[in-house]
Amino acid sequence: MVDHVEFASKQVVDRFIDGWRKAGVQRYGFLIGRYEPYTEVPMGIKAVVEAIHEPMQQGEVDGLTVALPWEDEKRISELGSWCYHDTDMQKAGRGNVQVIGQIFTDLTPRPDDRSKLVYKRHAQSFFMSGLEATFAAKMQAEHPTSTKSSRTGEYGSRFVTVIVTGTEEGSIDMQSFQVSEQAVAMVQADMVVPSREPQTVIVRKETEGRYIPEVFYRSKNQYGIEVKESAKPTFPVDFLLVN
């Protein structure tokens, strides 16, 4: 997992958001950068974004369609492996330039004031929708972290998701997330699917020949007491997120 995300320069983000400013449709891109030690927390890791690559896509006012798989990813990763590959960088713990995550916009101007944005993502609505969370899980599964400590040579993922959205004041902000290892495993096992309600995901029903284990989550009831609840048929998508 990653503890912090930062951009190498303000221009990297500005160029990406300019696509929305000029066309008025949402944009998607892959984050190109490297991982470095993050000294603010013990054994911390941060993702440093050097560039954003936008694959083939069809943007809409309220969504977008991305052409996947990304055919250039292997070539970009190979080129990135040639960068920052020297002894000093390795001693500093800085990794090679590679694909480290994804970024997309969710920006809507206010009807009464087009210079400000709608405040969509907060504790009373959602931070990531069920569709976005399951997509992030699939992307994390496709970008595992290499490690010598695992028998398979891989464990977990450092692939991050950054969402560009509106703040309560109407300005632009970025929120970064990952989904948990449990979320990745549940999506790989086809146990959960997105719901029509963006703040929830659906646990699939058990069928003949298909066993679905019981899923529970803990929350506080109206009396402030922690209780265990069944996740069937739906449960809040927030329980899948790591912020």
Report d(CA 54, CA 51) in Å as an integer: 10
Q: What is the largest CA-CA distance in the chain?
A: 58
CB atoms closer than 10 angstroms to residue 85: 13
pLDDT tens digits, one per residue of 136-157? 999 999 999 888 877 888 888 9
Please return the burial class of 213, using the count of CB atoms within 10 Å of its CB with bins 0-12, 13-18 and 19+.
exposed
pLDDT at 88: 55
**Residue in the structure block whose two tokens are 């931070």:** 127
What is the band of 83 on the pLDDT scale with cuts at 50, 70, 90? low
Reported pTM: 0.89
SS3 46: strand
Q: Please count the residues of the chain.
A: 243
